[in-house]
Amino acid sequence: MLDYPNNISEFEERFATEDACRAYLFKLRWPDGFICPRCSTNKVWQQTDGLYRCKSCDYKCSLTSGTMFEGTRKPLLLWFQAIWYIVSQKNGASAKNIQRILELGSYQTAWAWLHKIRRAMVRPVRDNLSGLVEVDETFIGGKKPGKRGRGAEGKILVGVAVEDKGDEGIGRIRLGIIPDASASSLNEFVIERVNKGSIIRTDNWPGYNGLKTVGYERCVIGRKDLKLVHLVVSLLKRWLLGTHQGAVSHEHLSYYLDEYTFRFNRRTSKHRGMLFMRILENAVTIKPISYKKIVKNIRGKKPSNHKI
Ligand SMILES: [Zn+2]
């Protein structure tokens, strides 16, 4: 289904009511009609309270239960507006922007929504990069430059992979936090994000020596010649400092990396509406997560309050 609003006026016209939002979300969640999440049959009663009751196993569920929207007390209309705003801003939105635009009473709500929406920017199954791919690592955060291979106080090491499409320029990117610049960490970073058989371009750091043994060709150039990686890293850092004023805590950095990747890989897309639809498509397939869990459930290192 490729059915989305093309611009703000189409968006406003189409999603003027809660019912219109529900109908759209229903279509994304159950394109072939309702299917019981428990027994997978399709016979259903629609109750007056908005719940669906399975005729076969009596299971009751709502349109939003089991999705990113589970438990929300706000109208879908507001969520749709938040997502539309996020995809239509070139550099994304901060929690403060969202709070102001939607006139939300609480900053925490805006902050939690952004985190939930960020999770819906990652497709449950992602295609790997392929072809010629430039790979390097960079430190994010802290004031002093970090020492390679040893880590540095208050800094996070981020792996960066960038497709080199020759005359067409940069293809897609992948970013991810890595524990260190050892061979095993770098191998794992590449294996999870790049198809075997691809050519990996790196500098002469020995941590990349093992790539051949795990199925890649390696091409070595000088560190300063890793131009694609350096460009992506400088744009990423500018984005973190600009849109988010550097206020990204260590424990949440990986989700910001996901948002940046989502935006970067779709930077040439003229169809902002399609991004809106993709986020909603993911939103009905990802598991719900509570505010408490967003605060607590941290990927990567232990929580701290360091700022970028
Ligand atoms: Zn059922």
pLDDT in tens, 226-278: 999 999 999 999 988 887 766 667 778 888 898 899 889 988 877 889 889 99
pLDDT at residue 305 greater than cutoff 60: no
pLDDT tens column, 24-45:
999 999 999 998 989 999 998 9
Mean pLDDT: which of 81-90, 108-117, 145-154, 156-165 is highest?
156-165
Its pTM stands at 0.80
Ligand 1 mean position, distance from CA 61 (Å): 10
What is residue 146's predicted lDDT score, i.e. its pLDDT? 57
Ligand 1 mean position, distance from CA 124 (Å): 25
Query: In the structure, how many helices (H) and strands (E) does the chain have?
Result: 10, 8
What is residue 307's predicted lDDT score, i.e. its pLDDT? 38
Ligand 1 mean position, distance from CA 174 (Å): 39
146 — phi, psi (to 5°)? -85, 155
What span, in angstroms and rounded, lies between the C-alpha atoms of 299 and 253?
9
Contacts of 241 (CB under 8 A, 6+ apart): 308
Could you tell me what percent of the chain has a pLDDT over 70? 89
Can you tell me the mean pLDDT for 175-190?
94
Is residue 236 a contact partner of residue 159, using CB atoms and an 8 Å limit?
no
Ligand 1 mean position, distance from CA 38 (Å): 5
Give the chain's mean pLDDT: 87
What is residue 235's predicted lDDT score, i.e. its pLDDT? 94
Ligand 1 mean position, distance from CA 283 (Å): 22
Ligand 1 mean position, distance from CA 41 (Å): 6
What is residue 82's predicted lDDT score, i.e. its pLDDT? 95
pLDDT tens column, 123-162:
766 789 999 999 999 998 765 555 665 555 678 899 999 9
What is residue 81's predicted lDDT score, i.e. its pLDDT? 96
Torsion angle defined by CA atoms of residues 104, 105, 111 and 112, in that order, rounded to the nearest 10 degrees: -90
What span, in angstroms and rounded, lies between the C-alpha atoms of 145 and 148?
9
Q: What is the DSSP letter of 269?
A: -
50 — phi, psi (to 5°)? 90, -10
Confidence of residue 91 (pLDDT cuts 50, 70, 90): confident
What span, in angstroms and rounded, lies between the C-alpha atoms of 28 and 280?
8
User: Of 242, 86, 237, 47, which Cα lies nearest the Cα of 160?
Assistant: 237
pLDDT at residue 297 greater than cutoff 50: yes
The token duo for 36 is 């019981």
Can you tell me the mean pLDDT for 51-57?
93
Ligand 1 mean position, distance from CA 71 (Å): 21
What is residue 290's predicted lDDT score, i.e. its pLDDT? 80
Ligand 1 mean position, distance from CA 19 (Å): 24
